[in-house]
Amino acid sequence: MILAGGLGKRLRPLTDANPKPLVEVAGKPILTWQIEWLKKYGVNEMLFCVGYLKEKIIEHVGGGNRHGLKAGYVVEEEPLGTGGALKNTEAFLKGEEKFLVLNGDIITNLNPMRLMEEVDNFVGAIALVPLRSPFGIVDVDDKGFAKRFREKPLIPEYWVNAGIYCFTPRIFGYLPDKGEIEYTTFPRLSEEGKLRALKYDDAFWSPIDTHKDIEETERVLRSYKK
C-alpha cells in the first residue's frame, strides 16, 4: 500500500499541478521509480491511498495493466495523516496475511522482502537507514587541528525511519482515525515489544521533500548509471 495523498507543500510550484508522487526525478515520476522497484521483488498488487489531485495518480497508474500490475485505490476525502490513511484501507487489507506499506515520496533500492520475512511474530516491521548528516563534517584531532573534511557522511550510530513497513492485520487495532502513525501507533507498539526494526546499512535511500532533495537524488542516480 502506497501512501500517496500528501500535499507536497515544500515542492511547490512542482506540486501545484501534480501530486508529490508524480514529481519527476531523473526523468521519471517518483511513483514510477517505486513501482519498478517493487516489481523487481515480485510485488504485483498495489493499493494507492490518494487524496490531493487524486485523479492525476489514477490517470497515471490506471488499472495497472500498463505497468504490469493490479492497482486499486482508497480515497482520502480530507487529510487523515499516515495512521488514519492506513486505517482507511482496513476493508481492503484485513484479509491479507501481511502487507507492505510505504510513503509515496521515497526512492530506494533496499530489499523490502526482508521485512516480510521478519514480521510474522510481530504486529509490524520497520525499515531503518543510517542518518545522513545534512552538513559537511570536520574531523578534529586531540590537539585541535582539522584533520579531515567529509561531505554529508552517513552517521551509523543513528538510524532513521525509512518510511517502509510491513504489517499484519493486527495493526488496524492500533491505528488512529486521524493522525500520524509515527506519533500514535509506533510508540505503543514499541512499548509492547511488537515492532521489529531492520537496519539497512548498504542501501540507497532518498526521501523527496524539497527541491534540493531532487537535485541530490538525481546526482546519485546518474552516478549509478555510469
Q: Using the Cα atoms of residue 116, residue 121, residue 122 and residue 127 in order, give the sign of their dihedral.
A: negative
Contacts of 114 (CB under 8 A, 6+ apart): 198, 200
pLDDT in tens, 191-220: 999 999 999 988 999 999 899 889 888 888
pLDDT in tens, 134-148: 788 888 988 888 888
Q: Using the Cα atoms of residue 85, residue 86, residue 88 and residue 93 in order, give the sign of their dihedral.
A: positive
pLDDT in tens, 180-197: 999 999 999 999 999 999
Look up residue 116 and give its three cell numbers: 516480510
Distance, CA of 108 to CA of 91 (rounded, Å) = 29
CA distances to 116, 126, 185, 207 from 180, rounded to whole Å, are 22, 15, 8, 17
The answer to whether the beta carbons of residues 159 and 203 sit under 8 Å apart is no
Residue 41: pLDDT band (50, 70, 90) is very high
Angle CA(173)–CA(179)–CA(183) in degrees, nearest 5?
A: 85
Q: H helices of the chain, where?
A: 14-17, 30-40, 54-61, 81-87, 90-93, 113-118, 181-191, 211-225
Q: Find how far residue 131's CA is from the centre of its chain.
A: 15
Q: What is the pLDDT of residue 144?
A: 86
Q: What is the pLDDT of residue 1?
A: 94
What's the whole-number mean pLDDT along residues 163-189?
94
Q: Of the listed 70, 94, 152, 212, which one is catalytic?
A: 152
Distance, CA of 166 to CA of 110 (rounded, Å) = 13
Task: Name the burial class of residue 35, with classes exposed (0-12), middle (13-18) and buried (19+) by CB atoms within 10 angstroms of its CB.
Answer: buried
CA R_g for the chain: 18
Domains of the chain (ranges, CATH numbers) = 2-225 (3.90.550.10)
| Percentage, residues of the chain above pLDDT 90 | 60
The answer to whether the beta carbons of residues 113 and 30 sit under 8 Å apart is no
Q: What is the pLDDT of residue 225?
A: 58
For this structure, is 28 an active site residue? no
